[in-house]
Structure formats: C-alpha cells, structure tokens
Amino acid sequence: MIYLSREQIREVDRRAIEEYGIAGVVLMENAGRGCVDTLCSLGVSGPVLVCCGRGNNAGDGFVIARHLDLRGYQVRVILFCESADLRGDAAANFAILAKCGVPIRVVTGADDAGWETDLDGADWIVDALLGTGSRGQPRPPLDGVIERLNQQPARRLAVDLPSGLDCDTGEPAPTTFRADHTCTFVAAKTGFAVPAARECLGQIHVLDIGAPRNLIADVTAES
C-alpha cells in the first residue's frame, strides 16, 4: 500500500489541477461518487445521514448526498456552518445539492440539538466534517457532534479520514470519529500505518479519483 503525507496529497491535487488541467470540481465529483459506489457495495438498507463541515471534505459530502439521491436512497444532510461560509468547489456542490430536493439542515450554534432527531433510524452516518488539513482536538460544536455520532448504532463511514485523526501522525484526538469504513482518496495517508489509528479507521478503501498514475509516482519519488 502506498502512503502519502498531507503535503504530498496537496501536491497531487495542485498539480492535477494546474499541470494536467483536471478541474478540482471533477476530482471532488469522482471522490464523492466513489464513496457512494463503496456504500452501495456494502449495502444500504435505510436512510443515510451525511454530516458536513465547511471545507472540501464537506464538498465530497454534498456529492455523496446527490449521488445517493440519484440512486433512489433516502439521504439527509446536516451542514455544521452557514452555507455562506463555504468556498470554491464545496460551495459549488452545495448550490447544486440545494436544488435537488435533498433535505438539508443547517446547524450553526453549539446549543442547537435539534439536528439529533435526524439520527433516528439512520442506517449509515457519513463523516464529511474535517479533512486532511485538520490537526488536534475538533473545536466546538464539532467535538460534541462527533461524540453523538459515535454513540449511534448506525454504521459509520469516514470521507478521506475520520474527523479528529491526524493525517500524518495517525494520532487520534480525544474526540475522533470511529469509522467502520474509511474511503480515502488517491492513497492511504501516512498516519494510517500507525497502530493507534486503526481503531478509528475501520476497513480502508483507497479510491481512485482521477489523479494520473504518473503524477502520483512523481510526487512519491520526489519526497
């Protein structure tokens, strides 16, 4: 298995966009659709709850929700920030999703517990809260959100990596999403090889999102 660091993954993304002309929104589309392919292969027998933060990880979550809806699955989205705080490809995919009729709940306050009703009956919970750039303990309200998600009987899938897990060191924060499955993009992350990370990762699925094979090889060789 190939392992790439946070900076190596950023370099793959940057060069795929700038040198190969692959739009970031295309990479995001491939990532989200790949996650849905994995979910479907694992079996979806009830509602899927997609929990999103404000970065590109959230954009992957919006794509996931749209493709689940396209395939006829019941899906709900919770966005833990103002939609106006979204930027770039994540904002573009939120705008698309908002027109698709998928239920979206926006939660902006640490004392807003109304979203917890959306947990009822969920078959899968998808963690699209924090991405590879995150370090240390998740800040409120996400720390409390992750704690509640970990208490649910639903199966749990992490997008790229579990929120709260350090991409490079593999060190889980005191509050870290505990996934049954992790769909990671391009390559496994360096921290995944650390024994402490294993209890949060579950089964790892490395997904191809369209980054050229020779680009990945170049970035790996240059480090």
Q: Which residues pair with 48 in a beta bridge?
A: 75, 124
In the DSSP assignment, the letter for residue 138 is: P
pLDDT at residue 108, as a whole number: 87
Q: Could you tell me the pLDDT band of residue 111, with boundaries at 50, 70 and 90?
A: low
Angle CA(177)–CA(196)–CA(123) in degrees, nearest 5? 30
Average pLDDT, the chain: 96
Give the span between the Cα atoms of 67 and 159, in whole angstroms: 15
Mean pLDDT, to the nearest integer, of 156-180?
98
State pLDDT tens for residues 170-219: 999 999 999 999 999 999 999 999 999 999 999 999 999 999 999 999 99
The contacts of residue 20 (CB under 8 Å, 6+ apart) are: 212, 215
State pLDDT tens for residues 42-77: 999 999 999 999 999 999 999 999 999 999 999 999
Tokens coding 116: 């917890």
Distances (CA, A) of 161 to 28, 99, 110: 15, 28, 24
User: Do residues 182 and 202 make contact, with C-beta atoms less than 8 angstroms apart?
Assistant: yes
pLDDT at residue 113, as a whole number: 74
Prediction pTM value: 0.97
State pLDDT tens for residues 10-21: 999 999 999 999
pLDDT at residue 109, as a whole number: 73
Domains, the chain, ordered by start = 3-110+121-222 (3.40.50.10260)
pLDDT at residue 151, as a whole number: 97
Give the span between the Cα atoms of 90 and 1, in whole angstroms: 29
pLDDT at residue 110, as a whole number: 59
Residue count of the chain, please give it. Answer: 223
User: Do residues 149 and 115 make contact, with C-beta atoms less than 8 angstroms apart?
Assistant: no
Distances (CA, A) of 107 to 7, 64, 77, 119, 163: 31, 19, 11, 14, 18
pLDDT at residue 26, as a whole number: 98
pLDDT at residue 161, as a whole number: 98
- Work out the percent of the chain whose per-residue pLDDT is above 70: 99
Residue 80 has pLDDT above 90, yes or no: yes
User: Do residues 76 and 107 make contact, with C-beta atoms less than 8 angstroms apart?
Assistant: no
